[in-house]
Amino acid sequence: MARQVLQMHDNVFSNRPASIAITYLTYDRADMAFANYGPFWRQMRKLCVMKLFSRKRAESWASVRDEVDATLPAASDKSGEPLNIGELVINLTKNIIFRAAFGSQGHEDQHEFIGILQEFSKLFGAFNIGDFIPWLSRSWMDMHGINKRLKAARGAVDRFIDKIIDEHLANPKVADAEDADMVNDMLAFLEDSPAGKGGEGGDLQGNLKLTRDNIKAIIMDVMFGGTETVASTIEWAMAELMRNQEDLKRVQQELTDVVGLDRKVQESDLDKLPHFKRAKKENLRLHPPIPLLLHETAQDCEVVGYSIPKKSRVMINVWAIGRDKASWKDAETFWPSRFGPDGECAGVDFRGNYFELLPFGSGRRSCPGLQLGMYALELAMAQLMHCFDRSLPDCEGHVA
């Protein structure tokens, strides 16, 4: 069924459902994650793939390397003591994305923005009766105080990001400059703005025009998509490897053989670590960063004999697909060798081509930041496993 939705009828199931909170906080779907499929969405995705998450954006990739290196002393300080991996890696991913988006490492500003993100996250998941009974969403019937919180949260984002945009406009950089951040890249497409002109915009330069609301909404997409998802994946991978000591020792020996003990892991080392890659893939199977893929039909359609009306919501349970006993042998077991050259799943990848493994979705709505996210995930995992020996605190192999 996932193949039917994401491949055979991808053009029909190409929209995403949005609650009242999501619609309001994304400036009426001015972002890419929740914008309805169409010409504008295609241009926005092209902007993300070709500019914001491109391998050519040196600053984003440098932020990963620098922030991972800066995290190692914090882990080293806890030598011989319990270390909260979740707290460590969430701070790491927030530092990476904040620097890549804004070109800033100022922790004072970062703490303020993290508070805004946390409120957004709560509002996205909050129950709002107006989503089910629309006439109760009117402001004068704000029974749970949701509308008041929505206005306060968006006002806080406006003040924070408008200030950053104004600072970038006052000190413009040429688009695609080596030290340009994501805001610099987007300002090249801001209506009536000379900032950033001169980069390699391609057909985007003439066809895409962004407003401030678009820039703010895309930044929120980047912050949500690049922090908790990557951090939770790293945390689960470390937990699974610590619970499975044989695989952990194999990965660490692989790192020792390739990297040695007198230097840190470099990007060029990552492709020389086959069992490390298999462990990462097995972790994505068991613990996908996005357990449920949300889609919505753009028109009436028929799928395997069922009539599905326009605006129907479809949820694809990626977590259950990855643990389907009909598709995976020992589905609940962490077994990286299944992806080895002689394994039953050799050649299976997670980039949307195999519908038994869809941690980042497939088709038009697949994750545009996959390449950058995987780089952050792999480098952080490799450095933490290469530099430290860790074990679970209860020494019984249980993972909560």
DSSP letters spanning 234-286: HHHHHHHHHHSHHHHHHHHHHHHHHH-SSS---GGGGGG-HHHHHHHHHHHHH
What band does 254 get if pLDDT is binned at 50, 70 and 90? very high
Neighbouring-strand partners of residue 315: 294
Model confidence pTM above 0.85: yes
Output the six-digit token pair for 201.
């915009």
Output the six-digit token pair for 83.
């270390």
pLDDT tens track for 122-158 = 888 888 887 777 776 666 566 678 888 999 999 999 9
Domains and CATH numbers, the chain: 2-387 (1.10.630.10)
pLDDT > 90 fraction of the chain, expressed in percent and rounded: 33
CA dist 87 to 92, 291, 395, Å? 9, 21, 20
Helix (DSSP H) and strand (DSSP E) numbers for the chain = 15, 4
Report phi then psi at 192, rounded to 5.
60, 30
pLDDT tens track for 263-296 = 999 989 999 999 999 999 999 999 999 899 999 9
What band does 198 get if pLDDT is binned at 50, 70 and 90? very low
Local structure of 294: helix, strand or coil: strand
What band does 184 get if pLDDT is binned at 50, 70 and 90? confident
DSSP letters spanning 13-82: T-B----HHHHHHTTTT-SSSSSPSSHHHHHHHHHIIIIIT-TT-HHHHHHHHHHHHHHHHHHHTTTTS-
Could you list the residues known to form a binding site, using ranges.
367
Nearest CA among 375, 388, 327, 332 for reference residue 354? 327
How many angstroms separate the CA atoms of 97 and 64, rounded?
A: 9
Output the six-digit token pair for 358.
């869809």
How many angstroms separate the CA atoms of 230 and 289, rounded?
A: 7
DSSP classification of residue 36: P
Residue 400: its pLDDT value, please? 41
DSSP letters spanning 307-345: EE-TT-EEEEEHHHHTT-TTTSTTTTS--GGGGSTTSTT
Neighbouring-strand partners of residue 301: 308
How many angstroms separate the CA atoms of 62 and 60, rounded?
A: 5
Could you list the residues known to form a binding site for heme, using ranges.
367
How many angstroms separate the CA atoms of 76 and 79, rounded?
A: 5
Provide mean pLDDT across the span 299-318: 90
- State the residue for tokens 């519908």: 355
- State the residue for tokens 């908790």: 228
Local structure of 114: helix, strand or coil: helix
Residue 399: its pLDDT value, please? 45
Nearest CA among 361, 330, 360, 358 for reference residue 344? 330
Per-position b or e across 139-177, b if 16+ CB within 10 A of its CB = eeebeeebbebbeebbebbeebbeebbeebeeebbebbb
Q: How many CB atoms lie within 10 A of CB 73?
A: 8
Q: Return all residues near 164 (Cβ < 8 A) that are at least 6 apart.
A: 102, 104, 183
pLDDT score of 205 more than 70: no
Query: Which helix (H) or strand (E) element contains residue 369?
Result: none
pLDDT score of 105 more than 70: no
Neighbouring-strand partners of residue 313: 296
